[in-house]
Amino acid sequence: MKRADFSPLPDTKINLKDYDPDFHEDWNKQTAKDETDRLQERIQDLQERLYAEGKQALLIVVQAMDTGGKDGLIKKVFSGVNPQGVTVTSFKAPTPEELARDFLWRIHRHAPAKGFIGIFNRSHYEDVLVVRVNKLVPTEVWKSRYDHINAFERLLVESGTRILKFYLHISKAEQKERLLARLDNPNKHWKFSLGDLPVRERWDDYMKAYEDALTRCNTEYAPWHIVPANRKWYRDLFVTQVILKTLEAMNPRFPPAEAGLDQVVIPD
């Protein structure tokens, strides 16, 4: 597989077994980190412009299995951007108040405002992943959600938001390593939840659910990227490259200066 295959075209049937979580082109840890740092400076400049312009928004959806690297990625890729222009929302199991509404109700209110980058750490996709695997709603309910998701994302895009979706793809063996590392490190115990173990047992069911979500909701206006994520440094570089390319295409511009600024004299 080549780099481009990890950003599949709409209507591609996704089989995750075809996607190597160790893929890293010709990069090594040092060259990838240096390149990521270099590209991040350009993201910082473009984010400043996006915020100043106040006309377009960028929504970044991050999904992964436990230990897939969602938190680490968000921390790395957005280190250095102006926090005033970025919102991060982590979606947990819905509250009773949220469960009493449609599944997109709690999501929509966190969509980024114009000028902002909004990051979703988990998202509306949980409603066709954990909800499906754990049979939290009847089959016909989760099955109808792919169309609802596509329509919802189209609404956001037509209202001035760009959408990028990243699935951080790790292997089951890599997850085991990372869970063991969490157990070994007292500073990481807070990240270890016994509830993650039954999820790991259902790995294959989750892969199937991910494949359907990635296949059915990979649209031209809200594309999925399958990020090889066994190597954290390649994961960070891959996502940084995609975000930078998107921000460049959005081409945000500083608003024009007020007329007469060249005449201004600042009084003593």
Asked if 70 contacts 233 with a C-beta cutoff of 8 angstroms, the reply is no
- Residue 91 engages ligand AMP in binding (rule: CB under 6 A): yes
Q: Which does 94 bind (CB under 5 to 8 A by kind): ligand AMP, Mg ion, none?
A: ligand AMP
Asked if 244 contacts 46 with a C-beta cutoff of 8 angstroms, the reply is yes
Asked if 130 contacts 71 with a C-beta cutoff of 8 angstroms, the reply is no
Shortest Å distance, C-beta 136 to ligand AMP: 6
Binding mask 160-179 for ligand AMP (x = CB under 6 A): --------------------
Distance CA 205, CA 224 (A): 20
Residue number with CB closer to ligand AMP (8 or 118):
118
Asked if 61 contacts 120 with a C-beta cutoff of 8 angstroms, the reply is yes
Give the footprint of Mg ion on this chain (CB under 5 A).
66
Grouping H, G, I as helix, E, B as strand and the rest as coil, residue 253 is: coil
Residue number with CB closer to Mg ion (67 or 230):
67
Shortest Å distance, C-beta 127 to ligand AMP: 5
Residue number with CB closer to Mg ion (99 or 197):
197
State the virtual CA torsion across 34, 38, 44, 49 in degrees, nearest 10.
Answer: -160
Q: Which does 72 bind (CB under 5 to 8 A by kind): ligand AMP, Mg ion, none?
A: none
Work out which of 2, 17, 92, 109 binds ligand AMP, going by CB under 6 A: 92
Residue number with CB closer to ligand AMP (34 or 147):
147
Sites for ligand AMP among residues 184-203 (CB under 6 A): none
Distance CA 118, CA 113 (A): 8
Residue number with CB closer to Mg ion (91 or 146):
91
Q: For CA atoms 193, 196, 198, 201, give the dihedral sign.
A: negative
The candidate with the shortest Cα–Cα distance to 21, out of 59, 65, 60, 61, is 65
Binding mask 95-134 for ligand AMP (x = CB under 6 A): ---------------------------x---xx--xx---
Distance CA 91, CA 210 (A): 17
Which residues form the interface with ligand AMP (CB under 6 A)?
91-94, 122, 126-127, 130-131
